[in-house]
Amino acid sequence: MTDRENEAGRNVDHWLSEHGDYLYRYASFRLSDAEAARDMVQETLIAAWKARENFRGDSSARTWLVGIMKHKITDHVRKEIRTRNLSEAAESDPTSHWFNADGSWAEAPRAWADNPEELSENNQFREVLHDCIGKLPDNQRSVFSMRELAGEDSDTVCNEMDITPTNLHVMMHRARMALRRCLEMNWFGGAKQS
């Protein structure tokens, strides 16, 4: 093995062991898709190795790697949004399932009794929640995760994903409707009727 190959192996292994979980978490919170998040870590490390000359050490390796990953995630989500928006253009508004023709609820939402602090510590609930988020269409899942799990503000998501505020609002509304319904069916089913 040449010195160069040795160095490459050391860099990449070091990055993976030191920053792998951090990068994986960063991507998971933005994509809510374990496989895609792992791919993002992989692509980031490959891109970082190819661009290793550019790393000047004036920022920490982690900051530099996250900077690369941001671009990878942006590309990935933009692609998802483009693909999905094209196919959605041909479909009717999915939120129409929840309402009757006169604009009233097809099935009235019920009151939920739980409190968020207890729920967020409940492993079983978190599993159901992540399942429900995972069932959202790709574009909604990513945009919703960026907003609610990663805590990015609306403007940042619009700018990074190159979507209009209206487009974001529609996706967030659809995601919230589907998520609320999924949780009502799979968790709050026993909650008291309003």
Partner 1 sequence: MNHFCREASQLMSDGYERELSPVERIRLRLHLWMCGACSNHGSNLGLLHRLFADMRKHADTHAPALSEQDRQKIRLAVHKQTQP
Question: What residue ranges bind partner 1 (CB under 8 A)?
Answer: 5, 8-9, 12-13, 16, 20-21, 24-25, 28-29, 34, 37-38, 41-42, 45-46, 49-50, 95, 98-100, 102-105, 108-112, 114-117, 119-120, 126, 148-151, 154, 165, 168-169, 172-173, 176-177, 179-180, 183-184, 194
Nearest distance from C-beta of residue 161 to partner 1, angstroms: 14
DSSP-assigned letters across all residues of 43-62: HHHHHHHHTGGG--SSS-HH
Phi, psi of 105 (to 5 degrees): -65, 135
Please identify, using beta-carbon distances, which residue of 58 and 117 lies nearer to partner 1: 117
- For 99, list phi and psi in degrees, rounded to 5: -125, 150
CB of 14 to partner 1, least distance (A): 12
Is the CA virtual torsion 179, 182, 186, 190 positive or negative? positive
CB closer to partner 1 out of 60 and 122: 122
Instruction: Kindly tell me which of 58 and 104 has the beta carbon lying closer to partner 1.
Output: 104
| Euclidean distance between CA atoms 19 and 145, whole angstroms | 21
Nearer to partner 1, 77 or 182 (CB): 182
Reading phi first (left if > 0) and then psi (alpha if -120 to 50, else beta), residue 167 is in alpha
Nearest distance in Å: CB 17, partner 1? 8
- Smaller CB separation from partner 1, 92 or 115: 115
**CA-to-CA separations, 18 to 12, 37, 48, 54, 152, in angstroms, rounded:** 10, 17, 14, 20, 25
Residue 23 · residue 48 · CB < 8 Å: no
Minimum distance from CB of 60 to partner 1 (Å)?
18
Least distance in angstroms from the C-beta of 19 to partner 1: 11
